Structure 1
Amino acid sequence: HNHELQSARTARPHFQQPLLHMHVRTLTHNEVTIYSDIPDMTCMKFTIPPPPIPTRFRKLRAPTSIATYSFRQMTVWTKPEYNWKEWMTHLADVLHCRKIKLVFEEGADKYQVLGLKKIFEEFEILSVRVERNDIEFTGQVLKMLHPTEELFVNPTNAEASNSIIRIRGNLEVLEFGDQFPLTISQLEKLDSQNIKIWLLMVTDLDLNTFLKKWISLKTNLNLKQLITRFGLVSISEGYQQRILNGIPYYLVKQSEEDKAILVVGKYQIQRRDGRRAILTFDTTIFP
């Protein structure tokens, strides 16, 4: 189920950015392959898979060559004497690009985070995605590698751990996967603009209190959109009114698109500084 808190101000249009995709899947062959047909790169996407041999704290082995493929040509750079840091510096110089996006696939927690930090420390990290890795490793990634725009985390053992993952800064997009349920107090500590939470463990009263705090400028001041599924909300009759109890609102007419996705309620509320928000309840709200 989606609960959406969205600014009524005009959103910036989203443009597809040119992207160099650098995939490190060929570690067993000691080579990195790049597929691209875009001459001007805005960033490099670097995917870190699990190591070929599942050894704890393994070092990421540097390739001996990097092959680039496009519709126009194929180029192979061979530098067996290069370590990873030298390779990254070389790529940045050749491609005129020092911005990267990092993806840590499931099993990447067998690598040393400190070693990865040294490889990428001279680059601007636009986004980090950590897929189903140990929460301790995930926390280390977030402590050492600080994305400036987007972050996705989905640790495997979040519920069984007392570890606290600290999210820094005002990100454009912050997303938590299905393995990482959040509480309302954790939500209130997040300062990002667009937040997606697969499972938010809240009650009707929690949501009512959160909305009142948001209206009073006491929490999540940068929030433009919140999309989440509710874990503890009672779906008995009148739950929407319990969530909106004591909050001035206007009914919003549903569009044809709303009806297609089974929207069951749509309301507009306004913050003290004039920012308006649309609350949308649909039938996928509940797990």
Structure 2
Amino acid sequence: MSSDDAQGIAATFDAAAADFDRVAADVWNPTGQALAFQAGLRPGDAVLDVGSGTGSSALPAAAAVGPNGLVHAIDLSDEMLERGRVKASDRALLNIEFVCADATTWEPPSTVPEAGYDALLSSYAVFFLPEMDQAFARLCRLVRPGGVVGVTAWRDTALREYATTFLDALEPHLPQPLPDRATEMTPAQRLDAPDKLGAWLADAGTEAVEVRTLSNLIPATEEFCWNFVLGSGLRATLTGLSAEVVERVRGDFVGLITDRGLHTVDATTLVGTAKVIAFP
């Protein structure tokens, strides 16, 4: 990852930290809890949580592995991590460390067993990795043979109507048109169906792949819809716009939500886990 790319991602999520937490109870936390549960974490396990944000999967992981286990929660956004540190302190979790670090260069510290981590978790984050396949395969090699890896990704139906409505409200206010959404292929779209996510995990050097679908249909209130823009990757689309223009975008967005009869935000998520194969 170039320093400019890393700084851009960090800046977006530093700015989004407070809004990220405003929607955590509806979006991030249920999935993080499901990921930690499906990973089958055990007391004493060492866990690496990549793209941890404010701790939606790292905190339940810390609770699962107990005082004899450890969790390294890494992210590029220190503002997000600081919120995670406060939550961990409030819950008296002493076995978790929130570290501002680049996942593409992370190496386990000496507190991790020589064989590697027992588990790697990443919730809604792997598609932000540059050279996603290679970067994730490298992270898998930090996990001991037989250890577990787990990721979450949006289902192909998720956010479709919501995001289209927002981008339709945004586009008239931009100095340049958005890319053609019909032809734009993002890393996230390579993981957006159970068979796709399962095959991708297998290709990273894993076996015993399991992918479950977590249905999550959230009432499309005006407050939630706007907070979700500000507390997710969509926030980056507002970069460079004045406060006045952003407020006009919000007004147009709310109007389109009503006009189109958008009653729920589809946040359906895929939760995939697998075991790491021994590397030669």
Give the TM-score normalised by structure 1.
0.28
Q: RCO greater where, 1 or 2, for CA within 8 Å and sep 6 or more?
A: 2
Higher strand share: 1
Give the TM-score normalised by structure 2.
0.29
Tell me which structure has the larger Cα radius of gyration: 1
